[in-house]
């Protein structure tokens, strides 16, 4: 799934190949937010989600920014090109709580978009299978499988 240009969330073993630019709310207890009003609901906790803002290092990583997320599901990275979403300077200028909130929101929104896109694509292929619109094409040794549109099916069956 591409999010914010040609970007995706992926799972990694470690964050070694990233230069950390900001690590807002570094300590777990800082990520627990208590109600300001005495009759407010209980505390809201993000203690299990550690968020960092970083730049990838290495070949081919120029102009990229990454949001690193470490939680119970492992370590995940959302990388995107700074030119498609120029927020690095604005994000780094914010206070820690706002940095954490914005980075967390961007990461979670990208994750939701990715899940929605995967579900929509699975539905498209399932409907095409039921309608008999999955086609196979061979060119030399290469095999291509694709979903035929309704218009293409109408032309083929006419």
> What are the pLDDT tens digits along the chain (158 aa)?
344 544 578 889 999 999 999 999 888 888 887 777 777 677 777 888 899 999 988 877 788 889 999 998 899 999 888 777 778 888 888 999 899 999 999 898 988 888 888 899 999 999 999 999 999 988 889 999 999 988 998 888 88
Establish if 78 belongs to a structural domain: yes
Would 150 be classed as within a structural domain? no
Is 141 inside any structural domain?
no
- pTM assigned to the model: 0.74
> Which of 116, 46, 48, 52 shows the shortest CA–CA distance to 78?
52
Let me know if residue 85 belongs to a domain: yes
Q: Is 108 left (phi over 0), alpha (psi -120 to 50) or beta?
A: alpha
E strands within 86-141?
Answer: 134-139
Structural domain harbouring 86? 9-131
The answer to whether residue 156 is domain-embedded is no
Residues 6+ apart with CB under 8 A from 74: 11
For residue 150 the two structure tokens come to 């309704």
- Residue 140 domain flag: no
* Structural domain total, the chain: 1
Q: Give the pLDDT of residue 120.
A: 92
Only one residue has tokens 């990454």, namely: 66
């Amino acid at each position: 799934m591409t999010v914010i240009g040609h970007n995706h969330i992926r799972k990694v073993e470690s964050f070694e190949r990233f230069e950390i630019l900001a690590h807002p709310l570094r300590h777990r207890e800082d990520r627990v937010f208590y109600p300001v009003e005495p009759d407010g609901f209980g505390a809201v906790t993000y203690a299990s989600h550690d968020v960092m803002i970083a730049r990838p290092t290495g070949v081919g990583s120029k102009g990229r920014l990454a949001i690193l997320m470490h939680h119970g599901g492992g370590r995940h990275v959302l990388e995107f090109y700074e030119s498609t979403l120029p927020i690095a300077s604005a994000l780094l200028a914010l206070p820690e709580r706002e940095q954490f909130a914005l980075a967390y929101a961007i990461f979670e929104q990208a994750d939701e978009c990715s899940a929605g896109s995967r579900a929509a694509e699975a539905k498209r292929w399932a409907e095409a299978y039921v309608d008999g619109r999955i086609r196979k094409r061979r060119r030399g040794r290469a095999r291509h499988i694709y979903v035929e549109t309704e218009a293409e099916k109408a032309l083929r069956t006419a």
